[in-house]
Amino acid sequence: MPAQDIIEKLKDSGLTGRGGAGFQIWKKWQAVIDAESSQKYVIANGAEGEPGVFKDDYVLDKKAKELITGIKIAMETINASEAYIYLNQEFFKKYQKPLLKLIGKDKIHLFEKPEGYIAGEETTLLNAIEGKRLIPRLRPPYPTTCGLYGSPTLINNLETFYQVALIAEDKYFGERLYSIGGDAPKPGVFELSEKIIIKEILEKSKNLPAFDFFVQIGGGASGEVLNSTQLEKPLSGTGSIIIYNLKKTDLKKLLNYWIEFFAKESCGQCVPCREGTYRLRELFQQNKQDWSKIGDLLFVLEQTSFCALGGSVPTPILSFYKNIKEASDI
């Protein structure tokens, strides 16, 4: 299919990236097309290191043929000579053989992601493939103009490539994948309209709880926390919903889990994230939290962190404190 034809299809579909940022796909693809270089790359990001998100596992298990088709379409569209499927260690071990069989003789390589949450960030994965230190790169320049080995590189989530294959065959109907877990009555991955609200997603998947609950959307560490009266809006980002039974969940333990996760996964490159997450952990180890100091730390993390890891720390903590009434007693 000619490059302009697939770009027009992507534009008409309104498809946005499924890795979290929600950027319009056709604009990213067009940027790589417009970049002048004799060498270009495609990378399918299957790191999926965010706790509670498991839709990429579903794609690899159920939609691998479409995934490979989408990658090949991308390679042809941007005139890339090589592509990589970047997989976390579990996925690499589990899906290496069936993927290689589907790939055949095409120049699509499988790359096993190193350990660490930050290794799934799109510029860090470039360093991983190049054998460099696992830290994010300064942007700009962006990967679309200066990516793998300094060449223009198209990086999208696995689900994105799956849906590109559907768009190319006129089989895309504005749906996306939602992973629903935690205390969900029927956990799993569901393909539903991206325009319906969170409450409808839970209803249609038979996961609207009969007990008192709250949810975390967009991941089990960096995701926003909402109570059961705040579900009248669409779900974007990574498309995940984690359900928590309000009466059975140890709220302080959950809060400390988030803090420990970020403190452990910080790459240490920038002071705000390295020191900020450490100090947060200290504050939350106290018997009673000083929310004034915590608020100041979170503001600094959000405004000055080098990458999205540090910048996302405030989201779960502040939304938890604001939206869950019981959190004020912690």
The verdict on 95 and 15 lying in the same domain is: yes
The verdict on 292 and 274 lying in the same domain is: yes
At residue 222, the pLDDT reads 92
- Residues 202 and 232: their CA atoms lie apart, in Å, by 11
Among 245, 278, 303, the domain-final residue is 245
- Residues 272 and 292: their CA atoms lie apart, in Å, by 17
The verdict on 58 and 74 lying in the same domain is: yes
Closest CA to 198 of 174, 227, 172, 220: 227
The verdict on 164 and 180 lying in the same domain is: no
Tokens of 230: 């705040």
Question: pLDDT 10s per residue in the chain (330 long)?
Answer: 667 789 999 999 999 988 766 789 999 999 999 999 999 999 999 999 999 999 999 999 999 999 999 999 999 999 999 999 999 999 999 999 999 999 999 999 999 999 999 999 999 999 999 999 999 999 999 999 999 999 999 999 999 999 999 999 999 999 999 999 999 999 999 999 999 999 999 999 999 999 999 999 999 999 999 999 999 999 977 899 999 999 999 999 999 999 999 999 888 899 989 998 999 999 988 888 888 899 999 999 999 998 888 889 999 999 999 999 776 676
At residue 18, the pLDDT reads 81
At residue 328, the pLDDT reads 64
At residue 309, the pLDDT reads 83
Number of domains in the chain: 3
The verdict on 241 and 258 lying in the same domain is: no
Among 245, 265, 298, the domain-final residue is 245
The verdict on 192 and 217 lying in the same domain is: yes
As to burial, measured by CB atoms within 10 angstroms (0-12 exposed, 13-18 middle, 19+ buried), residue 101 is: exposed
Written as one string, the DSSP assignment of 79-148 is T-SEEEEEE-HHHHHHHHHHHHHHHTTSSEEEEEPPSSGGGGSHHHHHHHHHT--S-PPPSSSPTTTS-G
The verdict on 43 and 73 lying in the same domain is: yes
Greatest alpha-carbon pair distance for the chain in Å reads 63
In what order do the strands lie in the sheet containing 213-217? 188-193, 175-182, 240-245, 213-217, 224-227
Instruction: Name the pairing type of β-strands 175-182 and 213-217.
Output: unpaired
Closest CA to 118 of 240, 221, 236: 221
Tokens of 42: 């495609």
Among 168, 191, 222, the domain-final residue is 168
CATH number at residue 72: 3.40.50.11540
CA-CA distances (angstroms) from residue 244 to 74, 183, 211, 250? 39, 5, 10, 10
At residue 23, the pLDDT reads 81
Are the C-beta atoms of 198 and 205 separated by less than 8 Å? no
CATH number at residue 203: 3.10.20.600
- Reduced to 3 states (helix: H, G, I; strand: E, B; else coil), residue 249 is coil
- Reduced to 3 states (helix: H, G, I; strand: E, B; else coil), residue 264 is helix
The verdict on 163 and 191 lying in the same domain is: no
The verdict on 225 and 144 lying in the same domain is: no
Instruction: Name the pairing type of β-strands 240-245 and 175-182.
Output: parallel
The verdict on 287 and 211 lying in the same domain is: no
The verdict on 14 and 152 lying in the same domain is: yes
CATH number at residue 272: 1.20.1440.230
- Residue span of the structural domain in which 202 resides: 175-245
**Residues pairing with 109 in the sheet:** 84
The verdict on 76 and 203 lying in the same domain is: no
- Residues 211 and 247: their CA atoms lie apart, in Å, by 9
